[in-house]
Structure 1
Amino acid sequence: MVPPLALDIDGTLTTAAHRIDPRVFERLPEWPAPIVIATGKSFPYPVALCHFLGIPERVIAENGGVVCADDHLAFQGDREVAEAAIELFGERGGDLGWGDADTTNRWRESEIAASMDADEDLLREVAAEFDLEVVDTGYAYHLKTPGVEKGDGLAAVADLLGLDPSAFVAVGDSENDVSLFETAGESYAVGNADDRALAAADHVTDASYFDGTLSVLESISE
């Protein structure tokens, strides 16, 4: 049987230029088992992707901070604490790096993300004062409540779907995918993955970005 999937977005469904690979729109809608989009991006991003793919809105957003599947919606993490930490970060000279509009955080429900150009040392210093953690996904620094992870989100979605998390095949590329890999039954890191994801995955693809993900889809559907 073709297994259900848990798929990251950035670095996994994208090209090296950070664009959604157009083959995603051909391959994923035809997948016969459930697909869960698991990302560090804010909630609207994976919902919009599911919409344009024409698949059910089964998403884990903000590194597990938001879970939505089959008309169930749940939130984890304390955004108010993260906002207080970011206020202090700004008072000490820090800048999130997104400009005044800050569309990266405008619709974020459970955490705050900072640009890779932000002062990482200062961000981690402030995070520690508020008992928060900073996760480096390679695309942003995420200031979040400890213990809120993609893996917990997958367990929650699997329960809503009446599936065991071990039934899922997970594909990702970053530190925030480690818990996803640990929860799924089988995991793949694409070739461009960071060291923590590479170490945690059951398999590593030769190819990078969506080329790597596509190789996984082809191998598990045979």
Structure 2
Amino acid sequence: MTETPPLLVDIDGTLTDESRAVDPRVFPVLREWPEPVVIATGKAMPFPIGLCEFLGIERTVVAENGGVVFVEATDELQLRGDHEAALAVGEAYRDLGHELGFGVVDLANRWRETELVVSLDQPLAPLKRLADEYGLVVLDTGFAYHVTDPSVDKGTGLEAVCDELGLAPGDFLAVGDSENDAEAFDVAGEAVAVANADATATARADRVTDAAYADGFLEAVAPYRPA
């Protein structure tokens, strides 16, 4: 068995099935991983924190595509990115007659601290134009449009985690499925895209699994697990 590296892993499309339900087969893998595990996602921090909490693993997360970083071992929380600009884009978008698309309560944005998300069924062109006016970018993760600061991403988030833990990004195995994983792929020691990954993630990965979604994750980590 190859020496086990620290692990950075996405949630949606990587630990889940196509309906976005987390596959329970990943639970023992994450619980038993002998090196640090970083949950890196475009979701707001309560989601990866909750996943870690119920898995019983240390709460080390990169949320909001690098905008939020929390490392339980050092009790360090970092917020990066221009949230005010993201909120201004949302207001301007609504002024044009569009909606964010997540209903009145809007659980997708309710706990966000650095970016804004818009449903994929809303028009993209005006959102991109407004984001550009405010110096922001729009990421299509396959699950939502993320209006975010171009100075942060999952790669910078991983670097921040490494600074806290005394590790190097190149120590890590990174597994993901989307363009928002690409920057983490660039700095990780090994990057694996699951078979359902988009073209950007696939192009930046060191290898691509034959299997999709959580099956792909299990394939990605198989060389580092006992037979």
Question: For this structure pair, what is the TM-score category when the shorter chain's length is used for normalisation?
Answer: over 0.9
Q: Which residue of 1 aligns with 2:28?
A: 26
Q: Aligned to 2:8, what secondary structure does the other structure show?
A: strand
In structure 1, how many angstroms separate the alpha carbons of the residues matched to 2:27 and 2:54? 8
Q: Which residue of 2 aligns with 1:15?
A: 17
Give the number of equivalent residue pairs: 222
- 1:53 equivalent among 43, 52, 55: 55
- Structure 1 residue 195 corresponds to structure 2 residue 193: no
Tell me which amino acid in the other structure corresponds to 1:107.
Answer: W
Q: Aligned to 1:125, what secondary structure does the other structure show?
A: helix
Q: CA deviation at 1:3?
A: 0.6
In structure 2, how many angstroms separate the alpha carbons of the residues matched to 1:165 and 1:85? 32
Contact 1:36 1:59 survives alignment (8 Å): yes
Q: Which residue of 1 aligns with 2:175?
A: 171
Contact 2:194 2:220 survives alignment (8 Å): no
- Structure 1 residue 100 corresponds to structure 2 residue 104: yes
Q: CA deviation at 1:186?
A: 0.4
Q: CA deviation at 1:26?
A: 2.0
Q: Which residue of 2 aligns with 1:123?
A: 127
In structure 1, how many angstroms separate the alpha carbons of the residues matched to 2:134 and 2:81? 13
Tell me which amino acid in the other structure corresponds to 1:179.
Answer: E
Tell me which amino acid in the other structure corresponds to 1:115.
Answer: S
Q: CA deviation at 1:128?
A: 1.4
Q: Aligned to 1:153, what secondary structure does the other structure show?
A: helix
Q: Which residue of 2 aligns with 1:141?
A: 145
Q: Which residue of 2 aligns with 1:151?
A: 155
Contact 1:94 1:123 survives alignment (8 Å): no
Q: Which residue of 1 aligns with 2:40?
A: 38
Q: Aligned to 1:28, what secondary structure does the other structure show?
A: helix
* TM-score, with length taken from structure 2: 0.96
Tell me which amino acid in the other structure corresponds to 2:10.
Answer: D
Cα deviation 1:19-56 (Å, max 9, x = unaligned): 00011222210111110000000110000000011000
Cα deviation 1:62-84 (Å, max 9, x = unaligned): 00000001211001001111111
Cα deviation 1:56-109 (Å, max 9, x = unaligned): 000000000000012110010011111111101000011110011001100001
- 4+ long deviations beyond 4 Å: none
Q: Which residue of 2 aligns with 1:206?
A: 210
Gaps of 5+ in 1: none
The CA RMSD measured in Å over matched residues stands at: 0.8
- 1:221 equivalent among 208, 222, 225: 225
In structure 2, how many angstroms separate the alpha carbons of the residues matched to 1:156 and 1:127? 25
Tell me which amino acid in the other structure corresponds to 1:124.
Answer: K
Gaps of 5+ in 2: none
In structure 2, how many angstroms separate the alpha carbons of the residues matched to 1:102 and 1:3? 37
Cα deviation 1:128-169 (Å, max 9, x = unaligned): 111110000000000011121100010110121111110100
In structure 1, how many angstroms separate the alpha carbons of the residues matched to 2:224 and 2:185? 16
In structure 2, how many angstroms separate the alpha carbons of the residues matched to 1:109 and 1:155? 20
Q: CA deviation at 1:221?
A: 2.8
Q: Aligned to 1:20, what secondary structure does the other structure show?
A: coil
